[in-house]
Amino acid sequence: MPDSGNDFILADSSAEARSQEVMLKTGALQKAILTSANFSIIATDEQGIIQLFNVGAEHLLGYTAAEVVNKASPSDMYDPQEVMARAEALSRELATPIAPGFEALSFKASRGIEDVYEITKIRKDGSRFAAIVSITALRDDYGDIIGYLLIGNDNSVRKQVESELKAAMAAAEKANRAKTDFLSGMSHELRTPLNAILGFAQLMESGAPSPTPSQQRNLDQILKAGWYLLELINEILDLALIESGKVTLSREAVSLAEVFLECRTMIEPQAQKRGIAMTFPNFQMPYFIKADRTRVKQVLINLLFNAIKYNKPGGAVAVECAPSPPDSLRISVRDTGAGLAPEQLAQLFQPFNRLGRDAGAEEGTGIGLVVTKRLVELMGGVIGVDSTVGVGSEFWFELGLTAAPHLAAHEAEDAVRLTPQLSGGAPPRTLLYVEDNPANLELVEQIIARRPDLRLLSAADGDLGIEFARAYLPEVILMDINLPGLSGVEAMKILRADPLTAHIPIIASAPTPWPGTSRKPWRPASSTT
């Protein structure tokens, strides 16, 4: 029979050996932790007095364990102002008075919440460095706090990287602002001579006697190239402003029926010229979208113009709209053009990418759709396209629906009734033009000279314009924005603040192109009435 007593002795010996092995490993791990130089380990008693100070803490802080054990608190090695700020922040957060010092550092840990915070530590030699500290309460078998364990490491490298990243971002933002300012200034410098070229070409085209066929062909080329260049400048500036985040949008209730009517009036003549049939929806009920009215028109006109430009002869363009659950409206522009292949769709919204149509008869910048997409997204919407080669394309965008605004109809009727009507014997109305560019001034002078019912006053700067406005009280003011000295915007604010001139309509004089037309009448870009 086997000796059972010996078996028990062997089993006990084996268990004891395993226990000793575990204890040796545990001891080795504890020693490795306590002697590690990669991170500091500090243990305190319940009063916050240091009881353990490992090699990593010695290396980071410059003290030896003998200098601090039973003699100092971890808060003695922290920036006192940050400890004070932490105590005040905890007092506000927890609605409990927290004294500055170790109490502020250990308050959350004492409530069973492991706290991790960033603080500046001060070495023995007085030098400072950023550190990340994790603090945990140590408890006995009865759950009573017997001390705190603080594990920390040097965070100065990460702080330096963050600082460098912030500096780089600030420099990039500054460069972006400089780019935007440069483009804005250049756009003005480029548009000023273009305005004169286009304006005088239009005067020659509409003058008497009429141009000869040869002269008319030359004028057509000047106007076509000029409008294309102006469109390119405007689209580049639009894109630059959008990318810099400086585009301001007004979020208001916009009547879709009114927007469709205005866009149809502008675009339909181009469709008829190319033999393109256009259809718009008949609204059974009014729809209002929350958007910027001017930008919605810009988006829709761009999509409509593209649908006409890239359509086939005798084709069709259909505008449709339908609710898109839960609370949006989808507006679609469908054409019967050549359609787009999948690889073209993937490149559709890239700047200056015309999808291989650069050599075609139709001019374009490759920027319009990019601007359109960014504007839709800035208004909180989405845009997309569905297309089939040989069938056509459908561009669509969705914007949020909103309630109809309160319309004061009687006020509008009063305004119409009170508008003075010009009778046959009435004196001419006065237009004040504030402009420093001689070519632009001469152009407007020649235009006004063809209107016997208008009288032109001119001022070369904002200060003189304000004086003329107060003295003559013109019916309307045409204001150049980029004036020397006092800008057009500043002059407008002064006139608006003056009760004598506050009622006078003020119109910016920068011309805006009508997309796709080769002969566009000069008109103001925006009204501030």
Q: Is the pLDDT of residue 45 over 90?
A: yes
pLDDT band at 60 (very low <50, low <70, confident <90, very high): very high
Q: From the DSSP assignment, how many helices (H) and strands (E) are in the chain?
A: 15, 16
CB 251: neighbour CB atoms within 10 A?
A: 12
Computed over its alpha carbons, how large is the radius of gyration of the chain? 38
CATH topology of domain 251-418: Heat Shock Protein 90 (3.30.565)
What CATH number should be reported for the domain whose range is 172-247?
Answer: 1.10.287
pLDDT at residue number 416? 37
Task: State the architecture of 425-529 in CATH terms.
Answer: 3-Layer(aba) Sandwich (3.40)
C-beta of residue 364 within 8 angstroms of C-beta of residue 357: yes
Query: What pLDDT, on a 0 to 100 scale, did the predictor assign at position 234?
Result: 76
**Residue 12 CB partners (closer than 8 Å, separation 6+):** none
pLDDT for position 363: 54
- What are the structure tokens assigned to 341, written together? 């292949």
* % of the chain residues with pLDDT over 70: 82
Residues 324 and 330 sit within 8 Å (Cβ to Cβ): yes
pLDDT tens for each residue of 332-364: 999 998 888 888 888 777 765 656 555 455 555
Average pLDDT estimate for 18-46: 76
Mean pLDDT of the chain: 80
Give the pLDDT band (50/70/90) at residue 412: very low
Residues paired with residue 145 on neighbouring β-strands, in sequence order: 139
**Does pLDDT of 418 surpass 60?**
no
Flag whether pLDDT at 114 surpasses 90. no
Using pLDDT thresholds of 50, 70 and 90, give the confidence band for residue 485. Answer: confident
For the residues 364-393, what does the mean pLDDT come to? 86
More confident residue, 21 or 377: 377
Q: Where are the domains of the chain?
A: 36-154, 172-247, 251-418, 425-529
How many residues are recorded in the chain?
A: 529
Looking at domain 36-154, does it have CATH number 3.30.70.370? no
Domain 251-418 in the same topology as domain 36-154: no
Stretch 150-160: mean pLDDT = 89
Single pTM value for the model: 0.47
Q: Is the pLDDT reported for residue 6 higher than 90?
A: no
Strand, coil or helix: 455: strand
Question: What average pLDDT does this structure show over 403-416?
Answer: 50
Quote the tokens at residue 207. 């003058």
Q: Are 508 and 477 in contact (CB under 8 A)?
A: no
**Per-residue pLDDT at 17:** 66
Q: In percent, how much of the chain has pLDDT > 90? A: 25
Q: Mean pLDDT over residues 55-75, rounded?
A: 93
Residue 48 has pLDDT above 50, yes or no: yes
How far are the Cα atoms of 196, 212, 213, 442, 455 from residue 208, in angstroms, in the given order? Answer: 19, 11, 14, 18, 22
> Cis before residue 209, ω within 30 degrees of 0?
yes
The pLDDT, as a whole number, for residue 417 is: 41
- Look at 1-10, 115-124, 469-478 and tell me which has the smallest mean pLDDT: 1-10
pLDDT for res 521: 38
DSSP state of 76: G
Residue 228: pLDDT band by 50, 70, 90 thresholds? confident
Q: How far apart are CA 488 and CA 110, in angstroms?
A: 64
Contact by Cβ (8 Å): 279, 314: no
How much is the average pLDDT of 253-266? 86
Question: What pLDDT, in 10s, does the model give residues 492-508?
Answer: 999 999 999 999 999 88
pLDDT band, residue 131 (cuts 50/70/90): very high
Task: Look at residue 374 and tell me whether its pLDDT is greater than 70.
Answer: yes
Q: What is the pLDDT of residue 49?
A: 94
**Higher pLDDT, residue 12 or 246:** 246
Alpha-carbon gap, residue 455 to 423, rounded angstroms: 16
Q: DSSP 3-state assignment of 52?
A: strand
Query: Are the C-beta atoms of residues 291 and 251 closer than 8 Å to each other?
Result: yes
